[in-house]
């Protein structure tokens, strides 16, 4: 036996979507119902564990044998569930994931989606969702309780469920066969193995803080609701329908009660109306959602697991957040963070509000601090300094920018100096121009113009409408090689799609194979764009379109252009730099418990060398000769933004 393809059906009363597979599998009522498998691509067999059948001895042996490669779609689910079922930790070393393979080729992250896009003869059965709802989750009954359906409750449906399990394995085998022309490089499977180890390790949560934060939020909302009821006389002033009707009675027409709409109304109102709108704004604050997600996901040992999705962003291969969504945690700015944290943790809500402002603000500031190291350890947080700015300067050959990095200077000051032709120093000579340099750097690197500056908050930061276009022009003139990179990439992609011939520019290779546009990064990893073709943009010019998962989360035809491809290339390259750095840190014995964007969080004993961690992380990969990297870091007793 060389390969074992697996798909399982399970039962647990824990909500898988909210809580994740680790908490799902540690539930007291968790069990595996069906075990579908194929040995070396042979006929699919289904073991009916729910009705007393046992796993064959050779299958049990294979699951713990690293010489047998185990395959599954979203293999983390099968591996974690089977670890619980067998009572032994199944290491990820010999596991491979068909979902990851699909993602490397720009395909959806669902079995059904992949089957539909590549046109498999045997698709995932449409009855599956109903069957899973019936057999795999608790069902509500009339008295408000829950019951569970067994095979005896509906033998006919159970037979169909067995067929469904078998079909999933067949579909996975067909996907493997269809994708076999484009195997995943061993380097990516090494990255996947480390990703699984990080997810298995998890990160500790301060559950006393989490639960106290939730309690604080509930009390705060109840108080606001009570005050809003007294002011409006409404039964539920949190209801948009009721509140809009009340506002209309006061002569205020409110088409929307979104955050932006409420802020606009606040500028035009006063008195009780203004107070009600302020209460509405505060009640709508979603700061507690992260804490609720933590409570949902935390395992019995107070660690949250499964927070990172490998290859979650399939345009670039970047990691994505799951469950708690650690990739979009709010920043913290409170200088007395530790004091505020202690007050909320100990339930001293009134004192906290008196000292630090209203509750939603404090709770938002403290979200990061709910992640804590285990006893005897601290967090060693290391991240790359201005990684995307460094990568794009390296790719474009923008030498003045590389000199800035080589000299350890501030890129925002240097950019402003280059744009306006005067020296700019942070908190020094012409220091007021640094903010314009910063806004331009963040908004304009990937072809952005006036709209991008506005989206970045340029007007709110004090820039006038008249300043924006000259700012764009000044940045582009100062970064002519980056602008040239946009156009060179655009030309190479367009030519490759039109002629189906290999093109190369700036060390990036473009190839068309089997209906896919491949962009080979300096790391040799390839980005994939499915079914590319030449389309027409809204200005009447040529554009590249391809198929992918869009903003609606549906498979659709998407449009791109040179600067957007540059963004993908830069972010994909930054991802590869992080992945390689994490492998080095892991090989050096450092336990990574979380990573966010271009930052790694290590749980290590007090006294560990931060300098060594940053030195290891900041090494330039062999394939990136000339790229200037730097990793900075800090040590903390709870996670925070330094």
Give the CA-trace dihedral at 265, 268, 269, 274, to 10 degrees. 40
Average pLDDT score, the chain:
94
User: In the prediction, which pLDDT does 545 show?
Assistant: 96
Comparing C-alpha atoms, which of 83, 79, 69 is closest to residue 38?
Answer: 69
Spatial distance between the Cα atoms of 90 and 56, rounded to a whole number of angstroms: 18
Report the distance separating Cα 260 and Cα 358, nearest Å.
Answer: 20
Helix (H, G, I), strand (E, B) or coil at 286: coil
Distance CA 516, CA 532 (A): 7
Residue that has been written with the tokens 């380097």 in this structure:
187
Q: Which tokens go with 114?
A: 């992949």
Using DSSP, state whether 483 is helix, strand or coil: helix
- In which band, very low, low, confident or very high, does the pLDDT at 286 lie, cut at 50, 70 and 90? low
CB 453 within 8 A of CB 463: yes
CA distances (Å), 542 to each of 498, 532, 548, in order?
A: 11, 13, 19
Specify whether the CB–CB gap between 325 and 293 falls below 8 A.
Answer: yes
Among 107, 286, 76, CA closest to 200: 76
Total domains, the chain: 3
- Given a cut of 90, is residue 599 above it in pLDDT? yes
Task: Say if CB 148 and CB 12 are below 8 A apart.
Answer: no
Nearest alpha carbon to residue 262 among 285, 287, 233, 229: 285
Using DSSP's 3-state secondary structure scheme, residue 208 falls into helix
Q: How far, in Å, CA of 74 to CA of 25, rounded?
A: 15
Are 125 and 161 contacting, i.e. CB atoms less than 8 angstroms apart? no
152 lies in the same domain as 48:
yes
Pairing state between β 318-321 and 377-384: unpaired
Q: Which of 2-16, 205-219, 279-293, 349-363 is the least confident region?
A: 279-293
Is residue 337 domain-resident? yes
Rounded-to-integer distance, Cα 592 and Cα 205, Å: 15
Those residues whose C-beta lies under 8 Å from the C-beta of residue 221, and which sit 6 or more positions away, are 283
Q: How far apart are CA 411 and CA 18, in angstroms?
A: 41
Distance CA 587, CA 576 (A): 17
| Distance spanning both ends of the chain, measured CA to CA | 51
Q: What is the pLDDT of residue 325?
A: 93
| Adjacency order of strands within the sheet including 69-72 | 45-48, 31-39, 3-11, 69-72, 95-97
**DSSP code at position 621:** P
Q: Is the pLDDT of residue 379 over 70?
A: yes
Residue 348 has pLDDT above 80, yes or no: yes
Rg (C-alpha) for the chain, rounded Å, is 27
What does the pLDDT look like over 230-254, one tens digit per residue? 999 998 888 889 999 999 999 988 8
> Pick from 344, 366, 388: which residue ends a domain?
366
**Which one of 312, 341, 366 terminates a domain?**
366
Q: What are phi and psi of 71, to 5 degrees?
A: -115, 140
124 and 237, same structural domain?
no
List, in order, residues 6 or more apart from 134 with CB less than 8 Å away. 149, 154, 157
**Extended beta strands in 345-384, E state:** 377-384
> How far is it, in rounded angstroms, from Cα 174 to Cα 172?
5
In the chain, the percentage of residues whose pLDDT exceeds 70 is: 100
Statement to judge: residues 236 and 360 lie in one domain: yes
> Could you give the CA distance from residue 527 to residue 573 in angstroms, rounded to a whole number?
10
Contact 103, 311 (CB under 8 A): yes
C-alpha angle 249/254/256, rounded to 5°?
Answer: 145
Residue 260, in any domain of the structure: yes
Average of pLDDT values for 315-341? 94
- Report pLDDT for 278: 87
* pLDDT tens, position by position, 151-186: 999 999 999 999 999 999 999 999 999 999 999 999
What was the pLDDT predicted at 621? 98
The rounded distance, in Å, linking the Cα atoms of 472 and 398 is: 17
Tokens found for residue 238: 């949190």
Q: Please give the average per-residue pLDDT across 212-235, as a whole number.
A: 92
Would you state the pLDDT for residue 526?
A: 98
Residue 457 inside a domain? The answer is yes
- pLDDT tens for residues 509-528? 999 999 999 999 999 999 99
97 neighbors 74 (Cβ within 8 angstroms): yes
What is the signed CA dihedral for 420, 425, 430, 431, rounded to 10 degrees?
110
Q: Of 347, 366, 385, which residue is a domain's last?
A: 366
CB atoms within 10 A of CB 237: 22
Q: Residue 132 falls within a domain, yes or no?
A: yes
- Quick one: 349 and 455 in the same domain? no
DSSP state at residue 570: H
Give the CATH number of the domain where residue 99 resides.
3.30.420.10
The pLDDT score that the predictor gives to residue 151 is: 97
Q: What is the pLDDT of residue 462?
A: 78
Which tens digits make up the pLDDT trace of 475-513? 999 999 999 999 999 999 999 999 999 999 999 999 999
| C-alpha distances in Å from residue 265, one per residue of 226, 236, 270, 280, 286 | 22, 20, 10, 12, 20
**CA atoms of 88 and 50, how far apart (whole Å):** 20
For residues 221 and 79, state if they share a domain. no
Exposed, middle or buried, 498 (CB in 10 Å: 0-12/13-18/19+)?
middle
- pTM exceeding 0.85: yes
Examine the domain organization and report whether 86 and 10 are in the same domain: yes
Contact (Cβ atoms closer than 8 angstroms) between residue 441 and residue 392: no
Residues 15 and 144 in one domain: yes
30: its two tokens: 């968790």
Same domain, 158 and 219: no
Q: Which two tokens stand for residue 29?
A: 């009522």
Asked whether residue 142 falls in the same domain as residue 235, the answer is no
pLDDT in tens, 69-78: 999 999 999 9
Sign of torsion over alpha carbons 326, 327, 329, 333 = positive
Tokens read off for 409? 């200077």
| Rounded CA separation 443/286 (Å) | 27
- Answer whether residue 530 is part of any domain: no
Name the residue range of residue 84's domain: 3-184
Whether residue 537 is contained in a domain is answered as no
Any idea of the CA torsion for 536, 541, 547, 550, to the nearest 10 degrees? Answer: -100
Does 163 share its domain with 213?
A: no
Model pLDDT, residue 287 = 63
In a domain, 306, yes or no: no
Whether residue 254 lies inside any domain: the answer is yes
User: Do residues 10 and 139 share a domain?
Assistant: yes
Structure tokens belonging to residue 262: 């409420």
Query: Which tokens is 323 given?
Result: 């469950």
Q: Are residues 129 and 240 in the same domain?
A: no
């Amino acid at each position: 036996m060389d390969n074992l393809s697996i798909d399982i059906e399970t039962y647990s009363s824990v909500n898988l979507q909210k809580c994740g597979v680790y908490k799902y599998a540690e539930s007291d009522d968790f069990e595996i119902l069906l075990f579908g498998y194929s040995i070396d691509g042979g006929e699919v067999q289904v073991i009916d564990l729910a009705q007393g059948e046992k796993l064959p001895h050779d299958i049990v042996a294979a699951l713990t044998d690293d010489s047998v490669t185990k395959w599954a779609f979203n293999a983390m689910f099968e591996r974690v569930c089977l670890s619980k079922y067998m009572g032994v930790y199944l290491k990820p070393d010999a596991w491979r994931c068909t979902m990851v393979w699909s993602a490397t080729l720009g395909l959806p992250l669902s079995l059904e989606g992949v089957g539909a896009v590549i046109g498999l003869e045997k698709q995932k059965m449409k009855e599956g969702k109903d069957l899973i709802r019936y057999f795999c989750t608790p069902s509500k009954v009339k008295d408000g309780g829950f019951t569970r359906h067994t095979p005896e409750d509906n033998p006919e449906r159970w037979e169909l469920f067995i067929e469904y399990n078998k079909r999933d394995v067949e579909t996975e085998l067909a996907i493997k066969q269809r994708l076999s022309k484009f195997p995943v490089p061993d380097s990516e499977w090494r990255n996947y193995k480390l990703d699984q180890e990080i997810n298995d390790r998890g990160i500790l949560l301060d559950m006393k803080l989490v639960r106290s934060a939730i309690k604080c939020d509930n009390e705060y909302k109840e108080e606001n609701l009570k005050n809003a009821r007294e002011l409006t006389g409404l039964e539920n002033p949190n209801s948009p329908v009721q509140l809009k009707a009340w506002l209309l009675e006061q002569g205020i027409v409110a088409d929307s009660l979104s955050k932006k709409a409420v802020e606009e109304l606040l500028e035009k109102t006063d008195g009780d109306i203004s107070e009600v709108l302020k209460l509405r704004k505060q009640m709508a604050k979603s700061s507690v959602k992260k804490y609720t997600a933590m409570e949902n996901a935390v395992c019995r040992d107070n660690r949250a697991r499964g927070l990172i999705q490998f290859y979650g962003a399939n345009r670039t291969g970047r990691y994505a957040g799951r469950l708690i969504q650690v990739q979009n945690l709010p920043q913290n700015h409170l200088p007395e963070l530790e004091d505020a944290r202690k007050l909320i943790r100990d339930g001293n809500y009134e004192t906290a509000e008196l000292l630090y402002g209203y509750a939603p603000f404090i709770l938002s500031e403290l979200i990061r601090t709910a992640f804590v190291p285990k006893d005897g350890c601290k967090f060693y947080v290391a991240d790359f300094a201005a990684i995307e700015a460094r990568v794009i300067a390296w790719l474009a050959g923008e030498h003045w920018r590389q000199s800035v990095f080589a000299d350890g200077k501030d890129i925002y000051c240097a950019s402003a100096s280059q744009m306006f032709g005067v020296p700019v120093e942070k908190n020094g000579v012409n220091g007021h121009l640094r903010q314009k340099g910063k806004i331009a750097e963040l908004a304009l690197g990937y072809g952005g113009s006036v709209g991008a500056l506005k989206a970045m908050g340029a007007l709110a930061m004090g820039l006038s409408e008249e300043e924006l276009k000259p700012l764009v022009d000044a940045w582009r003139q100062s970064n002519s090689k980056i602008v040239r990179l946009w156009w060179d990439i655009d030309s190479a992609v367009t030519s490759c799609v039109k002629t189906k011939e290999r093109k190369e520019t700036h060390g990036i290779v473009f190839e068309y194979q089997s209906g896919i546009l491949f962009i080979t990064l300096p790391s040799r990893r390839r980005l994939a764009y499915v079914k590319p073709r030449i389309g027409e943009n809204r200005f009447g010019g040529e554009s590249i379109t391809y198929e992918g998962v869009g903003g609606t989360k549906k498979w659709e035809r998407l449009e791109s252009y040179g600067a957007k491809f540059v963004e993908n290339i830069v972010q994909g390259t930054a991802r590869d730099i992080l992945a390689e750095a994490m492998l080095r840190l892991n090989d050096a014995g450092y336990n990574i418990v979380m990573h966010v964007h271009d930052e790694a969080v290590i749980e290590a004993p007090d006294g560990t060398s931060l300098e060594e961690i940053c030195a290891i992380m900041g090494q330039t990969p062999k394939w990136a000769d000339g790229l200037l990297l730097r990793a900075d870091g800090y040590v903390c007793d709870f996670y925070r933004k330094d």
